[in-house]
Amino acid sequence: MNICVIGAGYVGLTTATILASRGHTVHAVDINETKINLLNQGTVPIYEPGLEPLINENLQEKTLVFSTKINKAIQHNEIIIIAVGTPALPDGSTDLSFIHNVVETIAKNLNTYKIIVTKSTVPPGTNESIYQTLLDKGIDKDLFDVVSNPEFLKEGSAIQDLLHPDKTVIGTKHSRPVSVMKQMYGGILGEVILTSLTGAELIKYASNAFLATKISFINEMARICDVYNVNIEDVSKGIGTDPRIGPLFLKSGLGYGGSCFPKDVSALHHSAKSKKVNVPLLEATMEVNHSQIDVYLNKLISHVPLEGKKITVWGLTFKPNTDDTRLSPALRLIEKLKAFHCHIHCYDPQVNSLNIKDVNYHTDMYDSLKDSDILIVATEWDMFKFPNWDKVKKWMKNNIILDGRNIYDPKRLEANGFHYIAVGNS
């Protein structure tokens, strides 16, 4: 099949690559010329395990083509996948300007029948309005179909998630494009969920809102565990064995971040409110996540005054195995530490610099500890789980460790002479 993917970000790039490696010819287009030039040389501007070699394989076989020529790409392909960004606006609603621009461009280039597939996460009603916009522009309804086909891939395991999906959600107005969609994903479909355009949009939001709620729930439980000296890991394990609850997304810590959960929960909240629906559960999910960093900081302050301390933060990305720092709890934590005039030193295996003033970045995790009073682990990269504790002790001036992701065994650390602090991990 001939497929055009518009937007070469995390979602577009991985989707285009996997479809190309499944035997389709994929044109991935983006307005960012620098990015396209890099991709054509086989250099991937993001860190996603396994992506770069796969892109290079497809480039060599000419099944994957990168270009900025969006008009041509739309005209020459039958399936047009929209994977542009849908960032949050300050009021929590969604900025759909990239989507609107793309729809305008598609409208101008609809020379033959095309299936327009929206993969970007968009608020309920957006795909209906894309359909209506095209009709309003005088385009014949037989010249196109709109499909709402949300993605469920996680950064860091995007390739595996695409190759082994638990489901493929296909939201349509008519059944006409369904068989082509199934053919496109042939062999990598999982369970097929057929629904309406808006149904598919809400499946995506409900999925992320539920997972975010699971995290906020376990973080709230960790607060309770903390005052009763109970280990939250035991509680997660205990409830996770119940198949109705399940073991995943029950890891307590500094809270969720990234480009999806914070944005999607507030977008769903905004959509509900715009229709006068009260959503106290979503509000609580956001509130718990928002206050989680203060819970950790207050615990730390109850052990040691922070004013003027030298603090090392390990981990800057919003989770391990990515280079993405968007809405990372680590960054919010650093901003809060700065209010205490702390001297902040950081290490992250994928991040060497950031636009934060007065923060020192290191390229070696042990170097970052030199003369530190406090080590805070903000992201659970594997390399932080089993450090050389003798080296840590030797480099640090003081012995305080705030475990923001509950990755350490408190008893072991205390036996090693550290002052261990966490929330719900005693």
- Of 218, 229, 175, the closest CA to residue 197 belongs to 175
Smallest distance, ligand UDX to C-beta of residue 378, A: 10
β-bridge pairing 419-421 and 359-362: unpaired
- Report how far residue 232's alpha carbon sits from residue 363's, in angstroms, rounded to the nearest whole number: 33
Smallest distance, ligand UDX to C-beta of residue 214, A: 7
Element (H, E) at 145: strand 144-148
Smallest distance, ligand UDX to C-beta of residue 215, A: 5
Nearer to ligand UDX, 150 or 177 (CB): 150
- Of 398, 396, 400, the closest CA to residue 414 belongs to 400
- Report how far residue 30's alpha carbon sits from residue 84's, in angstroms, rounded to the nearest whole number: 9
Smallest distance, ligand UDX to C-beta of residue 10, A: 8
Burial grade of 22 (CB within 10 A; 0-12, 13-18, 19 or more) = middle
- Of 27, 25, 30, 112, the closest CA to residue 75 belongs to 112
Nearer to ligand UDX, 77 or 271 (CB): 271
Collapsing DSSP to helix, strand or coil, 328 comes out as coil
Smallest distance, ligand UDX to C-beta of residue 171, A: 16
Query: Looking at the DSSP assignment, which residues form a beta bridge with residue 64?
Result: 26
Burial grade of 116 (CB within 10 A; 0-12, 13-18, 19 or more) = buried
- Report how far residue 183's alpha carbon sits from residue 230's, in angstroms, rounded to the nearest whole number: 51
The three state secondary structure string of 44-104 is CCCCCCCHHHHHHHHHHCCCEEEECCHHHHHHHCCEEEECCCCCECCCCCECCHHHHHHHH
Nearer to ligand UDX, 151 or 201 (CB): 151
Nearer to ligand UDX, 74 or 222 (CB): 222
Nearer to ligand UDX, 154 or 336 (CB): 154
Decide if 293 contacts 254 (C-beta within 8 A).
Answer: yes
Smallest distance, ligand UDX to C-beta of residue 148, A: 14
The stretches of 248-339 forming alpha helices (DSSP H) are 261-274, 280-303, 329-338
Residue 181 makes CB contacts below 8 A (sequence gap 6+) with 115, 117, 147, 149, 168, 170
Smallest distance, ligand UDX to C-beta of residue 219, A: 7
What is the 8-class DSSP label of residue 112? S
Burial grade of 361 (CB within 10 A; 0-12, 13-18, 19 or more) = middle
Nearer to ligand UDX, 63 or 216 (CB): 216
Smallest distance, ligand UDX to C-beta of residue 355, A: 20
Nearer to ligand UDX, 265 or 311 (CB): 265
What is the 8-class DSSP label of residue 193? E
Could you list the residues that contact ligand UDX (CB under 6 A)?
151-155, 208, 211, 215, 249-251, 253, 256-258, 260-261, 318-319
- Active-site residues, by number, are 260
Residue nearest to ligand UDX (CB): 260
Nearer to ligand UDX, 100 or 326 (CB): 326
- Of 27, 104, 102, the closest CA to residue 65 belongs to 27
